[in-house]
Structure 1
Amino acid sequence: MITIKGPLCLTMGLAGSALSLLSTMAWGQVDNGDFEQWQLGKPSNWTTIDSGISLTTEQNRVYSGQTAAAVNVLTTTQGNTDLAQTVTVEAGKTYTFSTWVYHTEGGVRARLVADGYHNYSDPQQLNQWQQLRHDYTATSNGQITVGLRFYDVSGFDGNETVYVDNFQPSGTASTPPPTGGACQANALTFNLTTDKYGEETSWVIKNASNSTVASGQNYGANQSYSENLCLTDGSYTFTISDSYGDGICCSYGNGAYSLNGPSRTIASGSQFTSSASHSFTLGTDNGGGDGGGDTPTGYYGAAAGLSGYALKTALHNIIASHNNQGYGAIWSFIDQYERDRYFENNGTVLDRYSEKPTGTDSHEFTAVGDQCGTARIEGDCYNREHSFPKSWFGGKIEPMNSDIHHIFASDGYVNNRRSSFPFGEVGSSTYVSSNGSKVGSASGIGYSGTVFEPIDQFKGDFARAYFYMATRYQDRISSWQNNSSYSDAVLNGSSDQVFEAWVVAMLKRWHQADPVDALERARNEGAYQFQGNRNPFVDHPEFVEQIW
């Protein structure tokens, strides 16, 4: 059910390290599931059905413990190429049988055996561990066969090795990890309740390098799961997906999920379409137990254990006293911190209104030399864009007018076309920039006026800038609603929620769909060096869900 890679540990039900301690249990116990005990070159308690496979001990490709089983598949005959043992089960009890397999060539696939055949491995998923699992409910007391069967597929050359490790059971009640296996990093718990179509649900956690460190799939219908994770310090993105595209609530059952840290819920939900993503950071800054990458130790300490608007107020108090550098100094910030080191990586000014993340930019700006000026067409020059328009807070009023956390380098002409329109999602466009940013009539967001829609790559950046503004200026933002018709459309006149409901819903969606990336983290660090405060929602993306 869970895939774990890299510097990360897992406990799920009766973990492999606990199996030898519990080998005397009568019910649902896989013996030597971690393949640690071998006698005369064979793994204890395991048998092979015929000569179609041979087994050797493996110490290099190991999922857990010190050794795994190297299964050498030698035949194209698919009759009885089985690795198996008998397990005693109790009537009415549900057991989760699972194991990890590692393919090297792609000419053989493995199939889980649990009183029958279930769930093939993907033979094309090479040189990495993948999990097979099945929830088995015993209909009577007795013994069943548990193990793996191996099949050849296209490309099999008659001799291929598959590595197997960590064969384990898990009953309906989760057993805590043994004391000796306690998490020494950041202990998290993932809880999932599936709907009527649990097999459609999957999830993944990726680190800042976009490498998968944990994942789950092949769930049963209307079942509840609780799994313990142990993640090292760093930034991560959790994504839950539904293959049918209707989420896990509420048309076909009341499914829900949550990912919980030591002192708070990092991610939770139930209603989504194809997927929902949540970014979060783990570290040592004592900010509620889950720190942030480059965040100074203790920076978010006053927010520890808080949620809702109490958390928002604590964050306001942390970031409110920044050192205003003035509007003119923003040119220097752009020169130093707004360079393209992520897409073309050529050092030109990174403009979110014309940057093409997956193609060649139509326009590029040289820092300092291409400052606006007058912009008559797109590509003339770059400007200092108040993503939260200055007319909304009353004009050139400090410190808002110079607060770098919501001011970005932007094409001067596109900036003018954006005007002071709210951010939104365009149905019918009247203008489209070279990278696909749009001006036009809003559609499907609960607002029908003219809006500006940035491209998907940067929507999360702007959403987190807005959450920053709502927090940094919560002591005065309630008075900005009537400064313009557009601020009235976006702001609700409060100091807690701050935004109209349609805005909150859209910004949260953007925040989830475009998680924090290396570009944004580096900019946040630059802003901290520049004016002495940070955007909490870049350091701790989970704060968004905890507040709104």
Structure 2
Amino acid sequence: MKKSVKLSVLIASSLASQVALANVENGAFESWSGSTPDDWSTIDTGISVSESTSIVRSGSSAAAITVNTGSQSSTDFRQSVTVTSGETYDFSVWVYHTEGGMRARLYVDGYQGYSTAATTGQWQEISYTYTANSTASIELGLRFYDVSGFDGSELVYVDDFVPNTDDNSDSGGGSDSGGGSDTGTCSAGNLSLTTDNYGYETSWSITDSSSSELYSGSNYSSSTTYSEDVCLEDGDYVFTINDTYGDGICCSYGSGSYNLIIDGSSVANGGSFNSTESTSFMVGSSSGGGSTDLSSYYDTAEGLTGYSLKTALYNIINGHSTQSYADIWTFYTASALDNYYENDGSILDIYSENPNGTDSFSYSSASDQCGNYSGEGDCYNREHSFPRSWFGGAISPMNTDIHHIFATDGYVNSKRSSYPYGEV
């Protein structure tokens, strides 16, 4: 998995007869013995804990936890009790990032939501509702994942684990010291992975729009089905699966497959590929927001010519967010469909689409993207109408400029190579 630092907390619960109450002793970190918060114990040296009286969310103290990548094995900070079968618990904790090079992930008997690393200088909440399947001890805590910009050590403040009967915090969304609050929410999902006869060849990852690795897996057994839980905040992501031998996981040497489901919908699936296969997907209703009203978009360029026009156009588009090459797949799924001719929702292939009759080949969105091909009709790929070798290869933003990259038959794409178009 991704190199990470774990901060785990085992939480005890005392339960009323009708209402589920899991009391975290000293959850507000108000009671200390030296550098150790009462009712908590540090059992490893990978983290250091001290009392903070300057940055707190409520009361007079919080836990200041310094996480170092130099000592990452089982860096636990914990206490323990039990939960009762059938009861539902609302767990939450508040964290405060100082640098933005690390994010915290809530653990409630399994990995749940993340904090937002870029939200620094203010408190943010991570929460999860948990229903106990049995009466037993469970783990609830935090694991820290380094992201782009991490310098090897980072200070994170932690406060107000709840439920906590001696808590002084405002469990609602009121004013917080140090700035406003930001609720850490995520969309739950699951990766189902069945390996082929050579499971050790398979690995996978999920990366965000900054190419930071959030989840990953490797070193699998052969012909085995795995289930990996994930939870993703709104945004753009890429799922990548790899096979070191280069023959995918289906179907020459076993019937391997994968299916990533987020919020009940499959966002990436398959099994037949070569060395690697990447699928872009989006969580949430929007990847960037903004108005769809473009009536005034070019107002500042109106009536200009020459150098002045060029400068005005530059200023209009300056500050855009360059997308990844894998993001093109997501664009095709949403915006390269046949809603004009057969109106069947198939991929519009600029080479084989027949505007006046039945298409010679038809491609289903996402499931027919390349992939392996041996002839026309096998799958669709991404064709640069202006060959990328002409501008130096995989160089942004030209390499991902959707204005000149079209969905085309993979086999024909390879035959076209980097030749210029001509009249035929």
Q: TM-score range by the shorter chain?
A: 0.3 to 0.5
Which structure has the bigger radius of gyration? 1
Between Structure 1 and Structure 2, which shows a larger proportion of helix residues? 1
The TM-score normalised by the length of structure 2 is: 0.39
